[in-house]
Amino acid sequence: MLRLLAPWMPVSGAQTVHAVLRKISHLTEYAVLALLWVRAFQSWRRLSLKMAFGAALAVCLTCAVVDEAHQARVPGRHGSVRDVALDSLGALAALIVVRTRKHVMNDRVASRPLRAPLDAARVDHSG
């Protein structure tokens, strides 16, 4: 596919681009997986956000280890501790982004001045 998109690229360059794209896709896959697990743990088990994050990270780490162990047993493939770390990094990065965003949103809500409801602010002039 890369040869079709960039026929001018040398083979070594195409191999490097392919390797980088595969690593980025693994980061992304595990980031999405972590977010889906957080959502599942929060809705199904009613876990707090902190507990859901921990459970999601544990599941993602387990999946990464099992995937690499499986690859180590497939002829022509090899398992890699580096790939487990990369997959776990993708999951952790997504969780950190969500946690940071949640804190920022909570801070914004907390810093807003309280306003009286419209009905309470109206004065009855029908006296």
Q: Which of 51, 100, 96 is nearest to 59 (CA)?
A: 51
pTM higher than 0.75: no
Cα(5)–Cα(110) distance, integer angstroms: 50
**Which positions of the chain have pLDDT values less than 50?**
none
pLDDT of residue 86: 94
Sequence spans of domains, the chain? 23-110
pLDDT of residue 99: 87
